[in-house]
Structure 1
Amino acid sequence: MTTFALVGAGPGLGLATARRFGAAGHTVALVSRSAAHLEELAAELARDNVQAQGFAADVLDPASLTAALRTASDALGPIEILQYSPVPRPDFMQPVLDTSADDLEAPLAFSVKGPVTCVNAALPGMRALGRGTLLFVNGGSAVRPHPDRAGTSIAFAAESAYARMLHDALAPENIHAAQLIIPGAIRPDAEHSSPDVLAQRLYDIHHKRDGFRHYAEPVPD
């Protein structure tokens, strides 16, 4: 049995994706800052017969991320699928003319150092398995920068570049890196961007392995 590791576990998309991959037979490692929150999510998944366990870590703290993913692999089995989809903080989204160099430290740590740390922790296990999937989830500013959301626009673009390079570099090793762009809000009643629809989309990206960038719906002008 292999593990689906979800970095940025939450009650919306995160829970839906954990449930979908768990239904496919994977154990689930839930990673977020709050241990109590993780216990609640794991208990909810257990009611759906999904084996899940929480591992507390802060995506802005590389050491805690590395420790959490290594502990998860030891406890639940090797990580075959890694999803990086934490929600950015509101203060990352300031107007570009009000953004200083210091204001970019946290967004870049969140969207660049965090993913790099997670990938480096998960890759040895994927290589040992001979397969793996790296899923990166971003908002529309990753492909269309928004002047009122400078931090995420800059940081998501950097994350996109990193993920694209992984896609090319790891393909010969049967490790698939892919990105899902979600341009708007995730809502239960959304046709293309509800948690359940997006969870199935992410599972399909993992299963079909057909290209790097995918869109939940068209990016608005």
Structure 2
Amino acid sequence: MATVLIIGAGPGIGLSTARAFQHAGYSVAIASRTRQQKADPSMRHFVFDAAKPDTVKTLFAEVTAAIGPPKVVIYNVAQRFATEPEEPFGLDPDQVQETLAVNALSAYAAAREAVKGFVKTGQGSTFIMTGNMLNTVALPGILCFGMGKSAAAHMIQNASISYKNKGYKFYYADQRQPDGGPTIPVDGEAHAKLYLDLVKDTEQKPWDYTFVDGQGYVSFST
């Protein structure tokens, strides 16, 4: 039985995805700062704070020891501090550091540990990050959120190229409206279905996976 590790198990995307993979026959590990009351007791919960990138290695070691190396890793954590639109540099350095730790550094550490396990789980192993449009669009008031997402998106793009010959897949998933605008709030069930479909597909699809619910992948060039 393959293992999926879902980092960030909130009541929306996280738990919807956990249920979808459990129904598909996966052993499910969920990682979050607090245990989600709505989670199925059969899912293994691991305490984890994405603001501390140095603890990612321990998380993967615990999951691997308990239920095996993850064949699928879903990074579904985000941190956002907002400023006034006309004050993009309004955050204190410690807030910037926390934002980048959650949105980029821990994502990097998770991808690094995931690949170590992919050596054992083989072709088809998949890393998915829940993204948004901030890797392509600048929105006043959330500069540092966009900085983190942009860095993570570049990481995903690079990895999708570097590991293609080994059969490891990497995705930055971005739900959109039909007109290309952001979906607010995001749809947990739509993400769960997409993530399961991406994992089942044996080939690497576009790394920047912009999708519309009910339509699947849609390319938004601008």
TM range (shorter): 0.7 to 0.9
Match of 1:65 in 2: 56
Letter aligned with residue 5 of structure 1:
L
Return the offset for 1:103: 4.0
Equivalent residues in 2 for 1:99-118 (5 A)?
99=91, 101-118=93-110
Q: Deviations over 1:194-216 (max 9, x none)?
A: 21122101111222242211123
Amino acid at match of 1:136: M
Query: 1:184 deviation in Å?
Result: 2.4
Match of 1:172 in 2: 165
**Deviation at 1:99?**
4.2
Q: How does the TM-score come out when normalised to structure 2?
A: 0.84
Q: Which amino acid aligns with 1:125?
A: G
Task: Give 1:97 deviation, angstroms.
Answer: 4.1
Gaps of 5+ in 1: 187-192
Match of 2:18 in 1: 18
Superposed, 1:203-214 pairs within 5 Å as 203-208=196-201, 209-214=204-209
Deviations 1:113-166, CA, capped at 9 Å, x for gaps: 101111222222211121210001112223212121111111111110011111
What is the aligned counterpart of 1:156 among 145, 149, 157?
A: 149
What do the CA deviations read for 1:26-48 (whole angstroms, capped 9, x no partner)? Answer: 111111111xx24x24xx324xx
C-alpha RMSD of matched pairs (Å): 2.0
Please identify which structure carries the higher helix content.
Answer: 1
Letter in 1 for 2:73: L
1:53 paired to 2:44: yes
One-letter amino acid matched to 2:65: D
Match of 1:76 in 2: 67
Runs of 4+ in 1 over 3 A off after TM superposition: 99-103, 216-219
Amino acid across the alignment from 2:51:
L
TM-score by structure 1 length? Answer: 0.84
Cα distance in structure 2, aligned partners of 1:167 and 1:157: 15
Give yes or no for contact 2:153–2:208 (8 Å, CA) kept in 1. no
